């Protein structure tokens, strides 16, 4: 290494060294927790830019482009027939769970690459196992253009954002912030092109910084904060059901329900590479809060109940992972995870008294207050061996032991094994088995005091409320991936899950917050087909998933259901509410000089509806178009303009119709929308 006359390392050369060391440490980190034997679908930063709305799209819209991901209302995602059960990781560090709601606190703009890992997972992945969403963030060692951008269009959409990155010597940093405003914050409950009372304002911040202690170690910091406000959209023309003193009439289009969501987290990670040993130690903290404010008069008149709900979750934890290259045939890995969750829930519920027949006895409401708090602990430890008995065969086997202690103490020992065989230089076959242990989300466990609501309009038909238990499942997966032509990659993957205490969730109250419950037994199985093609200026992808998810006999949270439906489910296998038989996604983009043309589509055969989910909604297939133009203005800088046309043919389709198990209201997909944006790079 050369130096100048002062003995200092030139900045340019120091930056090159920093990039090299960072790249090596990134590679070492990926060796600590690989996805050996599982099914991994990767979406890079360039691919995000080639999808409709690009980095301006919500985070979930990006994930929906992966195989087997089903779209639901309120921004929910379902992977391989599961209700949520997703684990999010940032640079291989677990992101603790928050309280589910409408806001998607993760911002698409900070993604360098995103992988959806499914199937038979290696032993390092526990608790949430339907899919691992692994995000590798942008950082200051890459060539990141500082950027100011604005984007907007239909439905009153306005979204300005900023992106900054850089560093020098041993430091590097990345920061992004955005503000989002729209008159379509939640899915419209009516088929009209514009919703009533559906305004949202959302702000998000994300920051990353790292310091190279030396060539074999570094320390990193991730921080994030988001704040989202939502109006709950209204359905006009509803008929009053209950009488309220002093309010003879009420227009349902004038309801004024609101929900706010706040999230913040911080992660500090230390990484060290010492010869054959790689390790990462991380500590994390997260706070999440959801607050629902009812329209007291209106909710009482139309529902007989007006609930103010305030839920929060404070989580702190530790994660440690290590790998050791024992020899050319064996790589050993081990680690642990410990999280302490403090969940709080408070509600004030206005209700009417009822008579012996359950009819309203008085037009004068009264309020019942209820509050819960609980500290829960999740602890998991694993060990595994990556063994190469043959040059083309890799066997990854291990054990994981998990403990969940909250309202119940539960534990399980989970064996895992995956085999990967290289059929050719460009084709591989994988097969695996995993035993899974899935605790219910701690912040969502419903501990309602049913006796308080006896003889009121909030009294349930069924008073039974058994404890919600952790799900225990056997999971089998087999698949093949092959590069059959230059640039053309295809994959086929099949899976089967048999579960005891199958977990599911539903919206059972006015607040758009989900509550979990168990089926005694569950079965989930399906097959996925994926194709990607990249050649010169042309890129394309197409995915098709066929899935079936069923459950039988509800064994917890029974008070959320009517007696007739509960009895039917006790004697029949029923479709889970998020079960969708066919799900497809496809897209094509072509770059001609400085112009990018794109088209994509997300399609589904329809989620479940009707009594005990015995029916399903019609299929949908909205088509989106996009155009991106890069240009320069001398002495000013580089610019990128984009135009997106969503739902080109203005298809009217429903995600939910308000019927089915745990479905609270109707939601329609977004109607045709025109959007445009301009980004300035500096």
CB atoms within 10 A of CB 636: 9
CB atoms within 10 A of CB 180: 22
| pLDDT number for residue 15 | 60
How far, in Å, CA of 539 to CA of 533, rounded?
6
Residue 28 lies in a domain: yes
How far, in Å, CA of 246 to CA of 365, rounded?
12
Is residue 12 scored above 80 in pLDDT? no
How far, in Å, CA of 36 to CA of 17, rounded?
31
Please report which confidence band the pLDDT of residue 11 belongs to, taking 50, 70 and 90 as the band edges.
very low
Residue 314 lies in a domain: yes
| Residues 37-45, mean pLDDT to the nearest whole number | 90
| pLDDT number for residue 465 | 86
The DSSP result for 186-205, as a single string, is S-BSSSSSS-SS--EEEEEE
| Residues 333-339, mean pLDDT to the nearest whole number | 97
Residue 261 lies in a domain: no
DSSP 327: S
The residue assigned the tokens 């509803």 is: 238
pLDDT per position as a tens digit, 391-414: 999 999 999 999 999 889 999 999
Is residue 76 scored above 50 in pLDDT? yes
Is residue 534 scored above 70 in pLDDT? yes
Question: Which residues make beta-bridge pairs with 90?
Answer: 93, 135
Dig out the tokens for 250 from the structure.
């009420």
Dig out the tokens for 374 from the structure.
């609980």
How far, in Å, CA of 560 to CA of 551, rounded?
16
Q: What is the largest CA-CA distance in the chain?
A: 95
| pLDDT number for residue 103 | 62
Query: What percentage of the chain exceeds 90 in pLDDT?
Result: 79
Residue 259 lies in a domain: no
| pLDDT number for residue 355 | 94
DSSP 456: B
Residue 253 lies in a domain: no
CB atoms within 10 A of CB 89: 18
Which residues lie below 8 Å from residue 248, measured CB to CB, with a gap of 6+? none
pLDDT per position as a tens digit, 337-361: 999 999 998 999 999 999 998 899 9
Phi–psi pair at 482, nearest 5 degrees: -150, 140
Is residue 8 scored above 70 in pLDDT? no
| Residues 64-90, mean pLDDT to the nearest whole number | 91
Residue 407 lies in a domain: yes
CB atoms within 10 A of CB 327: 8
How far, in Å, CA of 298 to CA of 304, rounded?
9
Closest CA to 119 of 532, 541, 470, 528: 528
pTM of the predicted protein model: 0.92
Phi–psi pair at 568, nearest 5 degrees: -65, -45
Residue 257 lies in a domain: no
Q: What is the CATH number of the domain that holds 72?
A: 2.40.170.20
Phi–psi pair at 382, nearest 5 degrees: -145, 160
Closest CA to 143 of 19, 9, 10, 11: 19
Do 648 and 641 form a contact (C-beta atoms < 8 A)? Answer: no
| pLDDT number for residue 101 | 63
| pLDDT number for residue 592 | 95
Please report which confidence band the pLDDT of residue 368 belongs to, taking 50, 70 and 90 as the band edges.
very high
Q: State the chain's mean pLDDT as an integer.
A: 92
Residue 524 lies in a domain: yes
Please report which confidence band the pLDDT of residue 444 belongs to, taking 50, 70 and 90 as the band edges.
low
CB atoms within 10 A of CB 389: 10
How far, in Å, CA of 618 to CA of 604, rounded?
9
Under the phi-then-psi rule, with left for phi > 0, alpha for psi from -120 to 50, and beta for the rest, what region is 323?
beta
| pLDDT number for residue 1 | 34
Query: What percentage of the chain exceeds 70 in pLDDT?
Result: 95
Please report which confidence band the pLDDT of residue 9 belongs to, taking 50, 70 and 90 as the band edges.
very low
CB atoms within 10 A of CB 73: 22
| Residues 457-486, mean pLDDT to the nearest whole number | 93
Minimum mean pLDDT range among 332-336, 364-368, 476-480, 664-668: 664-668
Structural domain tally of the chain?
Answer: 1
3-state secondary structure (DSSP) of residue 302: helix
The DSSP result for 489-538, as a single string, is EEEEEEEEEEEEEEEEEE--SSSS--EEEEEEEEEEEEEEEEEEEEETTE
Instruction: Provide the residue range defining the domain that includes 515.
Output: 11-132+139-193+206-247+267-681
Is residue 25 scored above 80 in pLDDT? no
Within 554-666, where are the H helices? 563-571
pLDDT per position as a tens digit, 598-610: 999 999 999 999 9
How far, in Å, CA of 64 to CA of 604, rounded?
11
| Residues 10-19, mean pLDDT to the nearest whole number | 57
Please report which confidence band the pLDDT of residue 434 belongs to, taking 50, 70 and 90 as the band edges.
very high
Please report which confidence band the pLDDT of residue 627 belongs to, taking 50, 70 and 90 as the band edges.
very high
How far, in Å, CA of 169 to CA of 172, rounded?
8
| Residues 224-231, mean pLDDT to the nearest whole number | 95
Distances (CA, A) of 616 to 299, 606, 610, 612: 29, 6, 7, 11
| pLDDT number for residue 2 | 35
Is residue 7 scored above 50 in pLDDT? no
Q: CA angle, 175 as apex, 74 and 179 as ends, to 5°? A: 40
3-state secondary structure (DSSP) of residue 433: strand
| pLDDT number for residue 17 | 64
| pLDDT number for residue 398 | 97
Write out 22-68 in H/E/C secondary structure: HHHHHHHHHHHCCCCCCEEEEEEHHHHHCCCCHHHCCHHHHHCCCCC
| pLDDT number for residue 37 | 85
| Residues 307-332, mean pLDDT to the nearest whole number | 95
């Amino acid at each position: 290494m050369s130096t100048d006359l002062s003995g200092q390392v030139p900045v340019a050369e120091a930056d090159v060294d920093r990039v090299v060391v960072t790249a090596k440490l990134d590679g070492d980190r990926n060796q600590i927790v690989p996805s050996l034997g599982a099914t991994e679908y990767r979406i890079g930063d360039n691919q995000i830019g080639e999808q409709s709305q690009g980095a301006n799209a919500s985070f979930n819209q990006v994930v929906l482009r992966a195989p087997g991901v089903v779209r639901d209302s309120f921004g929910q995602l379902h992977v391989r027939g599961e209700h949520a059960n997703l684990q999010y990781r940032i640079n291989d560090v677990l992101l603790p769970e928050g309280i589910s709601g409408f806001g998607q606190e993760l911002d698409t703009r900070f993604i360098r690459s995103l992988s959806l890992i499914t199937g038979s997972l290696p032993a390092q992945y526990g608790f949430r196992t339907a899919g691992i969403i692994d995000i590798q963030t942008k950082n200051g060692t890459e060539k990141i253009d500082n950027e100011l951008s604005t984007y907007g269009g239909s439905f009153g959409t306005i979204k300005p954002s900023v992106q900054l990155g850089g560093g020098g010597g041993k430091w590097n940093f990345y920061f992004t912030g955005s503000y989002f405003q729209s008159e379509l914050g939640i899915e419209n409950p009516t088929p009209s092109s514009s919703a009533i009372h559906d305004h949202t304002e959302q702000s998000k911040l994300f920051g990353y910084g790292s310091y190279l202690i030396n060539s074999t170690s570094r320390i990193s910091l991730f921080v994030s904060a988001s704040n989202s406000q939502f109006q709950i959209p209204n359905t006009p023309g509803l008929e009053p059901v209950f009488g309220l003193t002093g309010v003879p009439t009420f227009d349902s289009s004038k309801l004024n329900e609101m929900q706010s969501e706040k999230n913040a987290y911080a992660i500090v990670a230390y990484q060290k590479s010492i010869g054959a040993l790689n390790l990462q130690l991380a500590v994390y903290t997260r706070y999440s809060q959801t607050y629902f404010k009812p329209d007291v008069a209106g909710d009482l008149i139309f529902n007989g109940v007006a609930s103010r709900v305030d839920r929060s979750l404070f989580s702190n934890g530790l994660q440690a992972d290590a790998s050791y290259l024992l020899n050319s045939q064996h790589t050993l890995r081990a680690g642990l995870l410990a999280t302490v969750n403090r969940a709080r829930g408070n509600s004030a519920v206005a209700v009417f008294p009822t008579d012996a027949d359950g009819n309203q006895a008085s037009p004068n409401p009264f309020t019942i207050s209820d509050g819960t708090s609980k500290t829960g602990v999740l602890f998991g430890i694993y060990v595994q061996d990556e063994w190469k008995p043959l040059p083309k065969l890799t066997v990854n086997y291990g054990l994981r032991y998990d403990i969940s202690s909250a309202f119940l103490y539960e534990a399980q020992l989970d064996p895992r094994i995956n085999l990967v065989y290289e059929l050719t230089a460009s084709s591989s076959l994988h097969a695996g088995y995993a035993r899974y242990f899935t605790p219910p989300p701690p912040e969502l466990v419903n501990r309602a005091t049913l006796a308080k609501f006896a003889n009121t309009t909030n009294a349930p038909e069924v008073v039974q409320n058994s404890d919600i238990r952790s799900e225990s499942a056997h999971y089998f997966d087999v698949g093949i991936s092959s590069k059959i032509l230059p640039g053309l990659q295809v994959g086929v993957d099949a899976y089967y899950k048999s579960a005891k205490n199958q977990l599911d969730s539903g919206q059972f109250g006015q607040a758009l917050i989900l509550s979990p419950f168990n089926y005694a037994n569950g079965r989930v199985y399906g097959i996925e087909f994926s194709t990607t093609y990249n050649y010169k200026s042309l890129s394309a992808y197409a995915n098709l998933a066929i899935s079936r998810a069923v459950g039988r006999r509800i064994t917890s949270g029974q008070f959320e259901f009517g007696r007739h439906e509960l009895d039917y489910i006790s004697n029949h296998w029923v479709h889970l509410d998020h079960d969708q038989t066919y799900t497809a996604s496809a897209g094509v983009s072509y770059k001609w000089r400085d112009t990018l043309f794109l088209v994509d589509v997300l399609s589904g055969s329809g989620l479940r509806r009707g009594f005990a989910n015995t029916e399903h909604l019609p299929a949908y297939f909205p088509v989106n178009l996009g155009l991106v133009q890069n240009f320069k203005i001398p002495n000013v800088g580089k610019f990128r303009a984009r135009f997106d046309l969503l739902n080109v043919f203005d298809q009217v389709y429903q995600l939910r119709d308000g019927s089915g198990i745990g479905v609270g209201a109707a939601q329609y997909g977004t109607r045709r929308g025109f959007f445009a944006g301009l980004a300035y790079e500096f």
